[in-house]
């Protein structure tokens, strides 16, 4: 092998190494394990679990799915889930910080808590209006009258 062909082979090897640096587990370590995991941890520290639960738990779910896909060597899909986890975590952190500082007046009600302003009464009225026939179109949260019967059987029915 001549010196010029050896040199060309070395350059091609280096180019392939540089081009492939973002692929496989190396890209995963940066995008998912480091960036997304840090973003989720930052969101948790900002109490996003309380102030932005949709975004926070979405980020947690996407991060977990990214880890599962990585275990199956689905690198590209794992990266996509990692990027989405990072986006949701950053959004959750921002929203939580705004709610905590009072920039957003809306409160999130957790099941069983009474400190969120009593929004449960409205939800119960609206839900029962729909469940009981949906006949309530009046203002003021009036409940609809009527009953819904549920019955039947599951299976072959012979």
Residue 56 falls inside a structural domain: yes
Residue 155 falls inside a structural domain: no
Diameter over CA atoms, the chain: 92
Q: Identify the domain containing residue 74 by its residue range.
A: 24-101
Q: Residue 55: what pLDDT?
A: 95
Residue 64 falls inside a structural domain: yes
pTM score, whole prediction: 0.52
Neighbours of 54 (CB within 10 A): 13
Number of domains in the chain: 1
Among 81, 93, 90, 72, which residue's Cα sits nearest to residue 25? Answer: 72
Residue 43 falls inside a structural domain: yes
Residue 157's pLDDT band (boundaries 50, 70, 90)?
low
- Alpha-carbon distances of 17 from 7, 24, 128, rounded to whole Å: 15, 12, 62
Report pLDDT digits (tens) over 30-69. Answer: 667 788 999 999 999 999 999 999 999 999 999 999 989 8
Residue 95 falls inside a structural domain: yes
Residue 70: DSSP 8-state: H
Residue 130: DSSP 8-state: H
> Is the C-alpha dihedral spanning 84, 85, 88, 90 positive or negative?
negative
Residue 1 falls inside a structural domain: no
Report pLDDT digits (tens) over 84-102. Answer: 999 999 999 999 999 888 7
Residue 5 falls inside a structural domain: no
Residues 6+ apart with CB under 8 A from 155: none
Per-residue tokens: 89: 């975590």
Q: Residue 50: what pLDDT?
A: 93
Residue 84 falls inside a structural domain: yes
Per-residue tokens: 42: 């930052």
Contact between 78 and 70 (Cβ < 8 Å): yes
């Amino acid at each position: 092998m001549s010196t010029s062909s050896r040199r060309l082979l070395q350059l091609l090897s280096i180019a392939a190494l540089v081009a492939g640096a973002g692929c496989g587990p190396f890209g995963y370590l940066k995008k998912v394990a480091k960036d997304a995991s840090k973003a989720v941890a930052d969101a948790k520290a900002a109490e996003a679990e309380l102030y932005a639960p949709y975004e926070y738990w979405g980020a947690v779910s996407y991060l977990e799915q990214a880890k599962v896909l990585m275990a199956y060597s689905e690198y590209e899909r794992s990266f996509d889930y990692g990027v989405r986890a990072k986006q949701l975590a950053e959004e959750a952190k921002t929203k939580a910080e705004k709610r905590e500082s009072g920039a957003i007046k809306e409160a999130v009600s957790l099941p069983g808590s009474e400190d969120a302003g009593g929004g449960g009464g409205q939800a119960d009225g609206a839900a029962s209006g729909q469940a009981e026939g949906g006949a309530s179109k009046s203002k003021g949260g009036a409940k609809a009258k009527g009953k819904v019967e549920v019955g039947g059987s599951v299976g072959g029915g012979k």
